[in-house]
Amino acid sequence: MTIPSGARYQVGSVEFAVVNDGDYFYDAGAVFGVVPRIMWERQIEGLDHQHRLTLGLNCLLLRSRGKTILIETGVGGKPGDRDSSSPASEGTLLTSLAAIGVQPADIDVVVNTHLHADHCGWNTSADPAGALTPTFPNASYVMSATEWRDATHPNERTRATYLGRNLDPIADRLDLIEGERAITDEVIFVPVPGHTEGHSTVVIRSGQEWAVYVGDMAQHRVQLERTPWVSGLDTLPLVSLETKKRLMDECIEAGALIAFCHGAYPGVGRMTRTAEGHRKWVDVEPLEHRHA
């Protein structure tokens, strides 16, 4: 089995690799929300017989100022993590990290953009006796303080995705952030509310270049191109619309790389503007591919 692991990109003097936790199937109607099917159907390919999109689970691994940083941890591999939405019985994130020479104990910082179950599953693992422990024994877990509050006080809508098994075992490893903060001077945690109130991105900045990992600001690239196509999964749709517009315009102006959790691996591209003034996503190929 080929484990996607080696797609590398350069941002100034910082290199990042896209590692991957496999695929995830999700109902396309839920993803596109109030956008009529006749409009989104023309923009996508590969719906399965249950009308589901295949979503990637792309996570980033990078080193900056002596820290090894993992952004996002996918669906996970604990009992119950991989239901019918996750076709494999095992998540591939740890194998994908191992393929580029990284072991769980090497990770100093884990960053979660938010705490929905498809973004923080490998925060924790089950040992053979079934006890839950942090997967990355030497890491602090960085996330928005607002997101942690909301995830640990779920409501009727959010309780299916904010799962105690991904959260409780890391409760003494947290580094909760209010607002924006530099994790290093090259890696900045930036709030981008909309998908959830506490949803955040990570900006990688080196010299004149920058890249942004957009987390769940979109589940499909067309939602970044057509910013009014707000995801049906967003809890603050109008905030999400404004956040996407602002960030995508900044990315176009700067020529920033955009790394995209749910895109087909590796899910990295740039936003451009067509002669007609429309935003257009363009995939960016990695420096090289390495396979396990």
Query: Could you list the residues that contact Zn ion (CB under 5 A)?
Result: 118, 216
CB of 260 to Zn ion, least distance (A): 11
The residue among 113 and 146 lying less far from Zn ion, judged by its C-beta, is 113
Structure tokens at 181: 């903060």
CB of 150 to Zn ion, least distance (A): 15
The residue among 12 and 154 lying less far from Zn ion, judged by its C-beta, is 154
CB of 33 to Zn ion, least distance (A): 14
Query: Phi/psi at 44 (nearest 5 deg)?
Result: -125, 165
Starting at the edge strand that comes first in sequence, how are the strands of the sheet with 52-64 ordered? 7-11, 14-27, 52-64, 67-71, 109-111, 140-144, 174-177
The residue among 118 and 147 lying less far from Zn ion, judged by its C-beta, is 118
CB of 196 to Zn ion, least distance (A): 10
Cβ neighbors of 220 (< 8 A, separation 6 or more) are 31, 32, 43, 44, 53, 262, 263
CB of 219 to Zn ion, least distance (A): 6
The residue among 118 and 225 lying less far from Zn ion, judged by its C-beta, is 118
The CA distances from residue 148 to 55, 144, 162, 176, 214, in Å, are: 25, 6, 10, 8, 19
The residue among 11 and 233 lying less far from Zn ion, judged by its C-beta, is 233
